[in-house]
Each structure stands twice: as C-alpha cells, then as structure tokens.
Amino acid sequence: MLAGLTNRSVDTEFYSPVPEGYRKGRTKYVAVFGTVMSGLGKGIFASSVAKLLKDKGLLVAPMKLEGYLNVDAGTLNPYRHGEVFVLDDGTECDMDLGTYERMLDQDLTRRNFTTSGQIFSTILERERHGAYLGRDVQMIPHVTGEVKRRLRELAMHGDGHRPADVVFVEVGGTVGDYENGFYIEALRELAFEEGEDSTCFVALTYVIKPQTLGEQKSKAAQLGVKRLMEAGVQPHMIACRASDPITEQVMQKIAMFSNVPMRRVFSMHDRPSIYTIPDEMRQDGLDREILSILRLHERVDAAHEDQSREEWKGFVRRLTSPKNRKVTVGITGKYAGLRDAYASIDKAVEHCTAGLGCDVDLKWIEATDLTDANVAQHLAGLDGVIVPGGFGSRGVEGKIRVVRHCRENMIPYMGICLGFQVAVIEFARNVLGLEDANSTEFKPSCAHPVISELPEQKKIEGLGGTMRLGGQDVELRAGSLMSQLYDGRTRVRERFRHRYEVDPGYIKRLEAAGLVFSGRHPAQPIMQMLELPRPGATGLDGAPLEQTHPYFVGGQFHPELTSRPLRANPMFRGLVAAALERRYGGAEAAAARSASIAAR
C-alpha cells in the first residue's frame, strides 16, 4: 500500500501517503470539532447530518478519531468513557459509533475508528522495519500523514462495494487539547491537499447561561472557535449547544466573530429525543448548505430522499406523540449512577416505545446496594427488569437476588451477558439446589462452576485473547419464545463481548429442571439464549410444567448493540410488551403487539 512512497519521505516535505487507486475529489469530507468542553454531542450532530445526506442517496462513512493512547476502548472503565460499543467485526470502540450505527442504520467496522495508540503503533512498527529509510520520523509529516492515509482508505472502501461520497470525521476531545492537535493539523492538511470544495469544517461549541445572570453568554464559544481558527481551520458551519434555543443576538455575535454566515449557524439545544434533530436540521437548511459547500447537489436522489424522510418522520411522530400507557422498567447494574454506561440499553428501550405506543420510565438501581432484606423494596412497582452486562464480582450477588425475585414473583425479566449468566447461577442455586453454584470468574474454587471458561479459551493467553467479540450466529430452537420473538427465524446474528460460558457439564441438569436453552452456537456446545416456558406450557407427557414465567429470557450477547430506531431489537420489544401486559392486562398487550407488528 505504501510502495513507492518511502523515498518521498526524504525527497519532499509533501510526504502524504495515498492508498493505491485513490481518486482525489471523488470523496468529500465533513470534519466536526468540539470547543469549550467535551461531551457536547459531536457524534449526535455528525450522525444527524450524515443521515440527512444518506437519505439523499449518498454513501456516507463516519470516522471517530480518539486522542487516547489505548489501541481500543476494550479496557476503559465506563466511568472514564461511557459504555464500550462492540462492532460486528469485534472492534471495541467509543460509544459514539453506536450513535452512528443507530442513526445511519448501517454496520461499521474497524476502519471507522482510530485512536492515537493505533496511529503511533503503526508508525513505530514501520520505523522498526526501515520503511522511512533513515528519515527522522516526526509528527509532521509522518503522524499527520498516517491520519490522512486512514481517512482516504476509508473513503476508498466506502461500504465495501463502492467509494464513499462523504466521509464524516469526528475529532474526539476539545480543541486546544494536546492529544488531538495532530488530528486537527492532519485535517487542515487534508483540505489543502484535496483542494477547493473538498472539505466542510464544523465547530460544535457551547453557549453558557450562568444561573446568576439568567441570560446566554457567547464569549466562551467565541474564544473556543478562535482556538480552532488559530490552528489554521476556518469553520464553514457552527453548531451551538445549549439547554435552551440560542437567541438571535447570540447567534449574530458568534457568526460575526467566526466569519460564518448566519444561515450556517445552528442551534443544537436540548430536545426530548436526539431523533428529532435530523428533521429540524433539514428545516433549517443545513443539508442544503453542506451540499453547496461540497458541491454535491448533482448526486442527490430526490425519490430516495422522499421515501427515507417519510419513514423517519413516521418513526419520530410515533416516538414523540403523547401516549396514554406507561410502564416502569428497572435496570440493575453496578454503574447505575452513570447512564452513559448503558447508553445503548437506554436507546434500545426508546426504540420500543415508538412501535408499542407507550412510554417507558427507566429506574436505575445500584446492584451493590441490594440485599435479601431490601431487594423487594427496590423492585417494588416495576413492570419489568433488565440486568445488564459487566465484568468483575462487584454487585453480582445483588444481581442474583434480582433474578430470584423476578423469577418467583413473575416480573418480566431480561438478562444481558452477565445478566444471562447470573440467571443460570440463580436457577442452579435455588431450583437445582446447588447452593455453591457460581462462576469461576467470581469464585474459582466453587463446588459447582455452572459458569466457567471453556477449555479452548483457557489455552489462550492475554486478557483480550480469551474474549468472544463481535457478531456471532445463534441457532434458535424451533417453537421457542425466542424463535417467535425473532419472527420464526432459526438463525440470527447478535454481538458478543464475554469470556465465560455455561459449563457443558451442567446443561442437561439445568434443562431437566425446566430451564430452556433456546439459542445455541451452531457448531459448539455453547449456550447463547435462555428462557422459561410461559404459563400453561406442558411437558412431553402433557403435564403442566413447574417452572413457567410470563417473560423470562436471557442472551449471552448484547442485544442492545443491534437495536435500531426503525428495527427495535426483538428481545427488548418482547420485554416492553410483557411489561404492558403485567401493567394493563392481556387486551392492552395484544394491542401493543399489533402496534409493534404494524410499525415494523
């Protein structure tokens, strides 16, 4: 890929690796930078604009540039960086890529995510192999050159079949940070090299409103944009974050001091749902402005845009319309104080509310606080419960108490990854009578390791090596609840991120006691879904089964990662429908199921 480029490192200061076959001008670039502070919603803004262009028939490809030196996000604590989002190819990445996947309804790959650690590792490895022929390897041009190479490679790859029309680049962190300065410089160079009309720079800034003053102040936003301009980047558009709509006066000030026309200044204030943002951007004409900046009007497919717009408007209308039914679902995790740790679960539940015509109130419950004495109190009034994934022993016993309470009191339950595993442990302890049943992750010397590492996993060294990561096929048992939830399919694909499995030596005993493993690995003895039969189910002899439940399911995978606005994940949809039935009775649940089918 870099053949013929090494001599240029010595002969010229215009060293800039270009993938073979790359055609300059074919792909345009939109780069989004954050100023004033982090966490403003660059990913939400960029994905919303990307959706507008995708709706017009253009092929879009997002890229998140992260400043940290980690090679990926796999070992980051949620308190540091929110949830770890896993792509189908197994890449552990930033939660913003989940926003892109949901908003664009497309699967991303490792090409869409880059960290400083990846950039520097690649360059140092090349240097050790003599790729730079003795040249002193520098931030400019070599580090910035590698950033540009990756962006152009993504542009060429597109969706795997044709090049992207537009690459959306989100620069992590805040302008002025040390760790993202070379990304900003690389994008400045990219715009210079690609030429006129090739790049659109967007500055996402923050307009403060001090409580003591009671009015919006734009000075911090102006100074933040000034830092970007000092780096050689003149923004074409400004997006202003605030709790309330930006006033005309403030927008005028920001426009004047940033040299950006008023028509290209957008108020990105708080809204009931992020899914309303694309249509509001369209009403403000942001999509047309970007098409003009990049000269892309001739690539627009008007018929495709009309259809996509109507589908999205229908979803948003169902999502935001007043609803006369409401259920409460508890999420019992050990990061309950940080909702970003379960951002995809939050969104997966939100997707269900549009299709089922109800509101869902999420109650966040800290698992480490739960005891035998207070678990009933904490779960009182809930119509459904989700036990999410996690690693480590903290909060596990609390989660097991939650499972038992839901199983014995017929509360709709869904276990995700670790939530699947603790359901197995609880069933082994309290139904099979194996009091010391546990996972070897939490108690290596337990008498009954119903959850453990499989032998082939134990042979693999390294923390990340033993993980099952990314998309895997799941074979469904015909006639099971899971099969029904997935529209009768016999095989589905979901995303995994775990190390421990149900020990094969206990599967027959668990199933004989009434636990149904309704989803398995197609070729290995790996259990991937579980459920309890619903009330009224009978065994082979026709006798009623002892272990039944209105909705008790679990997945060793993370179903929240594949839920999309127009295609809510079936397991979440089933949980909310079961919660409606618990709250309102069978007639309401039947109406909800009909609404869900109609909305698909």
366 given a catalytic annotation? no
Burial 488-517 (b: 16+ CB within 10 A, else e): eeeebebbbbbbbbbbeebbeebeeebbbb
| pLDDT for residue 461 | 39
| pLDDT for residue 6 | 43
From first to last of its 600 residues, the chain has per-residue pLDDT tens of: 444 444 445 566 667 889 998 999 999 999 999 999 888 889 999 999 999 999 999 999 999 999 999 998 888 877 777 889 999 999 999 999 999 999 999 999 999 999 999 999 999 999 998 888 778 899 999 999 999 999 999 999 998 889 999 999 999 999 999 999 999 999 999 999 999 999 999 999 999 999 888 899 999 999 999 999 999 999 999 999 999 999 999 999 999 999 999 999 999 999 989 999 999 999 999 999 999 999 999 999 999 999 999 999 999 999 999 999 999 999 998 877 777 789 999 999 999 999 999 999 999 999 999 999 999 999 999 999 999 988 887 889 999 999 999 999 999 999 999 999 999 999 999 999 999 999 999 999 999 999 998 665 555 434 444 678 999 999 999 999 999 999 999 999 999 998 899 999 999 999 999 999 999 999 988 999 999 998 877 666 667 778 889 999 999 999 999 999 999 999 999 999 999 999 998 655 555 554 454 444
Give me the residue label for tokens 């190819």: 89
Three-state secondary structure call for residue 65:
strand
The CATH architecture to which 324-599 belongs is 3-Layer(aba) Sandwich (3.40)
pLDDT tens, 273-310?
999 999 999 999 999 999 999 999 999 999 999 999 99
Dihedral of the CA atoms 114, 115, 121, 124 (nearest 10)? 90
Beta-bridge partners for 203? 33, 238
Question: What is the bridge-based pairing of β-strands 448-452 and 437-439?
Answer: parallel
- Identify which of 17, 61, 248 has the alpha carbon closest to the alpha carbon of residue 157: 61
Alpha carbons 410 and 429: distance in angstroms, whole number? 18
352 given a catalytic annotation? no
Phi, psi of 187 (to 5 degrees): -70, -35
Among residues 185, 494, 560, 581, the one annotated as catalytic is 560
CA-based max dimension of the chain: 84
- C-alpha 288, offset from chain centre: 28
Three-state secondary structure call for residue 506:
helix
DSSP code at position 189: H
Alpha carbons 30 and 14: distance in angstroms, whole number? 23
Whether the Cβ atoms of residue 387 and residue 415 lie closer than 8 Å to each other: yes
Three-state secondary structure call for residue 185:
helix
Among residues 194, 417, 426, 549, the one annotated as catalytic is 417
What type of residue sits at position 288?
A: R
Tokens of 510: 């668990």
pTM beyond 0.85: the answer is: yes
Do 27-114+146-315 and 324-599 come out as alike in CATH topology? yes
Alpha carbons 276 and 431: distance in angstroms, whole number? 47
Give me the residue label for tokens 């003795």: 134
Among residues 66, 397, 558, 581, the one annotated as catalytic is 558
Crossing angle for the helix pair 42-55 and 286-294, to the nearest 10 degrees: 80
Give the contacts of 318 (CB within 8 A, at least 6 positions apart). 354, 355, 357, 599
Choices 3.40.50.720, 3.40.50.1220, 3.40.50.300, 3.40.50.1360: CATH for 27-114+146-315: 3.40.50.300
What is the residue-wise DSSP string for 7-41?
Answer: HHHHH-S------TT--TTTSEEEEEEE-SSS-S-
406 given a catalytic annotation? no
Alpha carbons 514 and 426: distance in angstroms, whole number? 13
| pLDDT for residue 486 | 96
- In sign, the C-alpha dihedral spanning 90, 96, 100, 102 is positive
Alpha carbons 358 and 133: distance in angstroms, whole number? 64
Whether the Cβ atoms of residue 268 and residue 42 lie closer than 8 Å to each other: no
Alpha carbons 176 and 173: distance in angstroms, whole number? 9
Give me the residue label for tokens 């119903």: 450
Whether the Cβ atoms of residue 552 and residue 406 lie closer than 8 Å to each other: yes
Whether the Cβ atoms of residue 12 and residue 141 lie closer than 8 Å to each other: no
Q: Taking the domains of the chain in order of start, what are their residue ranges?
A: 27-114+146-315, 324-599
